[in-house]
Structure 1
Amino acid sequence: MTMRSRRETVTFKHPFRIKGIDRLLPPGAYEVITDEEMIEGLSFEAFRRVATMITVPAAPPRTSTVERISINPVDLADAQRIDADAPRE
């Protein structure tokens, strides 16, 4: 089975929450990795998402490290929408 990973950077301008992460995350740039597998047996190349992960600062007291947490891409999109709709400071 063929796998691929896509990396992107998403930026939040305000503190935010994502379902599945039990703390408020600070504003900033975050790496998001999406793993996909090829759908076999088609006459064209197509992939399906199998995992989405975000790299975030580790929970205290380990603030100098990071952790990669599996998230739902819909929850990420919701957090981005809320951040974009937040009043300007």
Structure 2
Amino acid sequence: MTTRTTQSTVRFSSAVRLPGLDEPLPAGDYLVDQDEETIDDLSRIAWRRTGAFIHIPAIGSGSLTRQMLPIAPADLEAALEKDRT
């Protein structure tokens, strides 16, 4: 089985609350890592997400302390959708 990690940037235009965090995250750009593995027994390559992590604080926040917190992809998508409205 092959695994990979892809990294993307998400942007929140206002403060956002994510499950598992006591305080809302401020608006800004955040790095998100998504871990995936190949799905076996298929005639073509397909990937299944096995985990996602958000890096806090926001990019450019000036803080020297960084954390990677696990996040459910559905929770991330819901937060992004809420931020768009």
TM-score, normalised relative to structure 1: 0.84
Please give the alpha-carbon distance, in whole angstroms, between the structure 2 residues aligned to 1:78 and 1:44.
Answer: 30
Q: Deviation per CA, 1:23-66, whole angstroms, max 9, x where unpaired? A: 21010000011000001121110111100000012xxxxx5311
Q: Deviation at 1:6? A: 1.1
- Residue in 2 aligned with 1:53? 53
Q: How many residues align?
A: 80
Which amino acid is the alignment partner of residue 37 of structure 1? Answer: E
Q: Deviation at 1:22? A: 2.1
Please give the alpha-carbon distance, in whole angstroms, between the structure 2 residues aligned to 1:28 and 1:47.
Answer: 29
SS at match of 2:10: strand
Greater Rg over alpha carbons, structure:
1
Identical columns (%) = 40
TM-score, normalised relative to structure 2: 0.87
- Unpaired stretches in structure 1, ≥5 consecutive residues: 58-62
Please give the alpha-carbon distance, in whole angstroms, between the structure 2 residues aligned to 1:75 and 1:4.
Answer: 21
Q: Deviation at 1:82? A: 1.2
Please give the alpha-carbon distance, in whole angstroms, between the structure 1 residues aligned to 2:79 and 2:40.
Answer: 33
SS at match of 2:74: helix
Please give the alpha-carbon distance, in whole angstroms, between the structure 2 residues aligned to 1:33 and 1:76.
Answer: 12
Aligned-residue RMSD, C-alpha: 1.0
